[in-house]
């Protein structure tokens, strides 16, 4: 990989191979491929809905926990830059999974199934 313009550094550290991207090269690639993001496009009919999760408050805050919020907000901003009407929905904690599990349970479990499952649990 030595001399490849996309990489500014390649190093092995603690059993991991680290490839460090060249920011100037990445920026040039993005701008070359951006297409409609180089300027406004004709607005589209309707609304683009982007749902994503906020950082999980049940643990220590670090960059890994903020990743989905950062990615989701970036998608919202890029779509708005492209001239789209965007609505963002933020799920607090892991509500998206909880809602999915509830929807599955309502569609697939009987009242007897729920009673049997809950009767095996001690009060919290």
51 and 69 co-located in one domain: yes
**R_g of the chain, CA atoms, integer Å:** 22
- 53 in Cβ contact with 89 (< 8 Å): no
The answer to whether residue 99 is domain-embedded is yes
Cα-based distances in Å from 100 to 27, 94, 111: 38, 10, 18
Q: Work out how many domains the chain is built from and give that number.
A: 2
Q: How many CA atoms lie within 13 A of 45 on its CB side?
A: 0
Percent of the chain whose pLDDT exceeds 90: 15
**CA separation for the pair 124, 109 (Å, rounded):** 23
Task: For the full predicted model, state whether its pTM sits above 0.85.
Answer: no
The answer to whether residue 124 is domain-embedded is no
Residue 37: which of 98, 79, 87, 99 has the closest Cα?
79
Q: What is the DSSP letter of 48?
A: E
25 and 39 co-located in one domain: no
Which domain covers residue 9, as residue numbers?
Answer: 1-33
Interval 8-63: pLDDT, tens: 999 998 888 999 989 999 888 877 766 655 555 566 678 888 888 766 666 666 66
71 and 103 co-located in one domain: yes
26 and 42 co-located in one domain: no
End-to-end CA separation in angstroms for the chain = 56
Q: Which helix (H) or strand (E) holds 20?
A: strand 16-21
76 and 94 co-located in one domain: yes
């Amino acid at each position: 990989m030595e001399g490849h313009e996309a990489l500014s550094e390649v190093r092995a550290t603690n059993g991991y191979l680290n490839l460090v991207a060249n920011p100037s090269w990445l920026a040039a690639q993005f701008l070359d491929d951006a297409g409609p993001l180089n300027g406004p496009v004709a607005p589209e009919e309707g609304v683009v809905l982007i749902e994503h999760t906020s950082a999980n408050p049940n643990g220590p805050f670090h960059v890994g926990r903020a990743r989905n919020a950062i990615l989701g907000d970036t998608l919202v901003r890029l779509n708005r830059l492209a001239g789209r009407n965007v609505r963002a929905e933020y799920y607090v904690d892991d509500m998206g999974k909880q809602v999915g599990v509830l929807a599955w349970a309502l569609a697939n479990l009987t009242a007897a199934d729920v009673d049997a499952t809950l009767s095996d649990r001690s009060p919290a």
